[in-house]
Amino acid sequence: MGKAPSLTASLVWNTLTTALMAVVACSEPEPLLPPSGAVDGCVNGQKDEAESDVDCGGICARCIDGLACETPFDCNSGVCADGLCSAPSCFDGLKDGDESDVDCGHACPQRCDAGASCDSADDCAAAVCVEGVCAVSRCDDGARNGDEADVDCGGSCSPCATGQVCEAPADCESTLCVEGACVEASCADQLQNGDEADVDCGVACQRGCGPGKSCGSAADCAGGSCVNSICLASCFDGYASGGESDVDCGGPCVACDTGESCSQVSDCVGGICELALCAASCSDQQLSSSLGETDVDCGGNCSGCALGAQCSVASDCLSGSCLNGACIPAASCSNALLDSNESDVDCGGSCPPCATGLACAEHPDCVGELCLAAVCAEGNCTDGVANGEETALDCGGDCEPCAVGAQCSVSSDCLSLQCQSGICFPATCFDDLKNGEESAVDCGGDACEPCADGQACQTSSDCASLHCESGSCIPAACDDGIANGAETATDCGGACARCADGGGCLESADCVSKVCSGDPKLCQVPSCSDSAKNGDETAFNCGGSCSPCPPLYPCLINSDCLGGACQAGICQPTCEDGALNGAEADRDCGGPCAPCRPNRDCFDDGDCTTAICSYAGHGLHCQPLNSCSNGQQDGSETDVDCGGPFCGWCTANDSCLVDDDCQGTQCEVGVCQ
């Protein structure tokens, strides 16, 4: 064992470690050697009194991490936590390592709060370090801190200027934050900012605000009227408002032109409002190409134009004469001259149509309404022109009937046989006509209801009976091999014979088994629990292959009955049928049957095995013998004073031989249950 260090050496060592404390807080300390005279005790492999752990701490060299310590001076790391030397950390509650204050600053992830020591702004949560102390963030401290979006702006500070960083629109003077930067306000950014009176409108945008928008003066409003800081509607504000049917027209404003929206005829210049749009008319003071007008409100489908008005054909003119696109005085169609708009001498144009072979300019110039290569030709049903007696292009009249939507004169002009207001209408299932895909009037085909018996058909699906023969619907029958009529399955159910097991059904009467259930409903196989008399049962769910029937139920043979007695088709009462019947005093005992055991009902002593019948409780009951109360199991008793033919019933867990030994329970394996 080494020599103990001297007192002088200890004092010198303690003085040295005290002087080096400042070094611990600023940098990683270097291992220290003990003073002269303490070496022997610091290398003896034992923990001496002045040491904090074996050969370290105290007057010896400092201990490495994990060894015992009493003060930070015992440790190389300068950190003594919970009696053990530890490496400096940002969570040890000490200012150690390169921290600027306790557990914050420099390499620690936690920035220091206001008032803590700091070496630079990076050490502080507010990014402000003043004379070595972290300061509280302000909106004028020249640093981005607190909830600021950029340096001293945004968040709870004043908004940021254009180009500065932002996190939300409220961070910007323009209230427009795009991809993290404040963008200059504009009149197309869908925000109310800058000097705008409302969103993207007002004097500053050189665009008037619409009705209902905010305003500072009348100049901000498209309608020139600002009341209580709200723009009012007008008939010249460029908006459909204030009862207008379209922009600045209709309602209280001037009438709308053709093609503009309307809600009533008064909204339209021409007085025609169709499908919420103003339609062209011959009095709308407009040149309407949809009506074929050649001049304003005349020509085409309107009345003829006055002299001098523009025209395309003679019919555009009141005079019946159109020359070089202008209405002229009427020409003569019998002057043997080619004049006016005639296509040939005294024919065509505004004159009567020309005969076949004469010159023409268009189809109406010809009697046959067919102009080919400027010569009138004879019309036919395949010439690609609506002429002759045709009501539409190559159909109607003496040609094939026309399709839906084509013009017509009579029903025969249409394939659907439906001509209404000069137009072929679609066939319907209630138009009292055989048309469309119908096989008979208003029935058959894919769209209409099936036809009744006797009506014409093409396929079975045309008939309600699903039976079409020789072009006629045949009534449903129970032997036609089709599930039709009131049948629930093919040729069974309903008015036909009952269906076999597995057949479709609606009610029990549809089934041979008299049981219809399930989803979908099907006829079920007979069972002994289906509440129906079916199969080989002689009564409901009994007899035959089911359990025997009680007395008075129908039967065929003795085995159909509980008592095994079937007479004249009826189960007869017996002493073994499990029922109280006949002259029995109780179930299957007394009267003509064997005497009853004690506690059973009786009429007289002869009904009882003990020959004792007396009142007990309610009514007459067979009484046990006196020996049934002697506290012993004797005689025919199955247990003490109970069971057997002469004593009362035994209770649960008592010994027994048969069920009658037990009160209301069964005897199983010799024990009342």
User: Which pLDDT score is estimated for 61?
Assistant: 93
Whole domain around residue 12: which residue ranges? 7-85
Q: Which of 19, 11, 65, 17 is nearest to 38 (CA)?
A: 11
- With contact defined as beta carbons under 8 Å apart, do 554 and 539 qualify? yes
pLDDT at 31 over 80: no
pLDDT at 37: 44
Kindly report, residue by residue over 390-408, the tens digit of the pLDDT.
Answer: 999 999 999 999 999 999 9
Query: Residue 171 carries which side chain, given as an amino acid letter?
Result: D
Pairwise CA distance, residues 463 & 444, whole Å: 7
Q: For 651-671, write each residue's pLDDT tens digit.
A: 999 999 999 899 888 999 999
- Between CA 592 and CA 503 the distance in angstroms is 51
Q: What is the structure's pLDDT at 397?
A: 92
Q: Which residues pair with 231 in a beta bridge?
A: 226
Sign for the CA dihedral angle at 330, 333, 338, 341 comes to positive
Burial class (CB within 10 angstroms; exposed 0-12, middle 13-18, buried 19+) of 353: buried
| Average pLDDT value over all residues in the chain | 88
- Kindly state whether residue 574 falls inside one of the protein's structural domains: yes
Q: Does pLDDT of 124 surpass 50?
A: yes
Contact 34, 44 (CB under 8 A): no
The pLDDT-based confidence of 384 (bands split at 50, 70, 90) is: confident
Q: Report pLDDT digits (tens) over 538-591.
A: 999 999 999 999 898 999 999 999 888 999 999 998 898 888 888 899 999 999
Q: Which residue has the higher pLDDT, 188 or 28?
A: 188
Q: Is residue 495 part of a domain?
A: no
DSSP string of 181-193, one letter each residue: EE----TTSSS--
Domain boundary pick from 515, 548, 582? 582
CA torsion through residues 532, 536, 539, 545, sign: negative
pLDDT(375) > 90: yes
DSSP sequence for 388-421: TT-SBTTBSTTSPPBPTTSB-SSGGGBTTS-EET
- Mean pLDDT along residues 313-332: 85
pLDDT tens sequence across 431-470: 899 998 899 999 999 999 999 999 999 999 999 999 999 9
Residue 371: which H helix or E strand, with range? strand 371-372
Q: Please tell me the distance from the alpha carbon of residue 301 to that of residue 315, in angstroms, as a whole number.
A: 10
When pLDDT is averaged across residues 165-175 and rounded to a whole number, the result is: 91
| Cα separation, 462 vs 470, whole angstroms | 13
Nearest to 416 by CA among 399, 432, 401: 401
Partnered with residue 101 across adjacent β-strands are 104
Complete DSSP assignment for 589-617: BSTTSPPBPTTSB-SSGGGBTTS-EEE-S
Residues above pLDDT 70, as percent of the chain = 94
Task: Specify whether the CB–CB gap between 670 and 651 falls below 8 A.
Answer: no
Asked whether 502 and 508 are in contact (CB, 8 A), the reply is no
DSSP-derived secondary structure for 535-568: TT-SBTTBSTTSPPBPTTSB-SSGGGBTTS-EET
* 288 domain-assigned: no
Least confident of 6-20, 168-182, 284-298: 6-20
Q: Establish if 129 belongs to a structural domain.
A: no
Give the single-character DSSP code of 661. G
Residue 272 pLDDT more than 80? yes
CA angle 366, 367, 373 (to 5 degrees): 30
Is residue 307's pLDDT more than 70? yes
The answer to whether 471 and 486 are in contact (CB under 8 A) is no
Omega before 520 cis (within 30°)? Answer: yes
Residue pair 473/467 in contact (Cβ under 8 Å)? The answer is yes
Q: Indicate the Cα dihedral angle 22, 27, 30, 34, nearest 10°.
A: 20
**Selected residue with higher pLDDT from 334 and 229:** 229
Gap between the Cα atoms of 354 and 356, Å rounded? 7
Percent of the chain past pLDDT 90, that is, above it, reads 61
Phi/psi for 146 (5° steps) reads 60, -135
Q: Write the single-letter amino acid at 150.
A: D
Domain boundary among 582, 603, 621: 582
In whole angstroms, what is the distance from residue 8 CA to residue 657 CA? 108
357: tokens are: 């072979």
Q: Where is the domain boundary, 549, 565, 582? A: 582
pLDDT tens-digit map of 126-141: 888 988 999 888 898 8
Cα gap 104→91, rounded to integer Å: 9
Looking at residue 39, its pLDDT comes to: 56
Q: Which two tokens stand for residue 452?
A: 């009744």
> pTM, whole model, 2 decimals?
0.30
pLDDT of residue 8: 36
355-378 residues labelled b (16+ CB within 10 A) or e (exposed)? eeebbbbebbbbbbbbbeeebbbe
Per residue in 613-656, pLDDT (tens digit) is 999 878 899 999 888 988 999 889 999 999 999 998 999 999 99
SS3 content of the chain, % helix, strand, coil (to 5): 10, 20, 70
Provide the token pair at 401: 């009937």
- Centre a 10 Å sphere on the Cβ of residue 109 and count the other Cβ atoms it contains: 8
Within a domain: 667? no
Q: 10 Å Cβ neighbour count for 563?
A: 22
pLDDT number for residue 112: 92
Q: Which DSSP symbol is given to 203?
A: G
Q: Which residue has the tokens 């007990």?
A: 616
Q: Report the C-alpha gap between 520 and 472 in whole angstroms.
A: 32
Residue 600 lies in a domain: no
Count CB neighbours of 488 within 10 A: 23
- Tokens encoding 381: 């049903």
Position 32 pLDDT exceeds 60: no
The single-letter DSSP state of residue 379 is: -
Higher pLDDT, 339 or 180: 180
DSSP-assigned letter for residue 485: T
One-letter identity of residue 54: V
Rounded to the nearest 10°, the torsion over CA 257, 261, 267, 268 is 30
Q: How many CB atoms are closer than 10 A to CB 347? A: 21
- The answer to whether position 46 is within a domain reads yes
User: Considering the domain boundaries, does residue 474 fall inside one?
Assistant: no
Q: How many domains does the chain have?
A: 2
Helix (H, G, I), strand (E, B) or coil at 566: strand
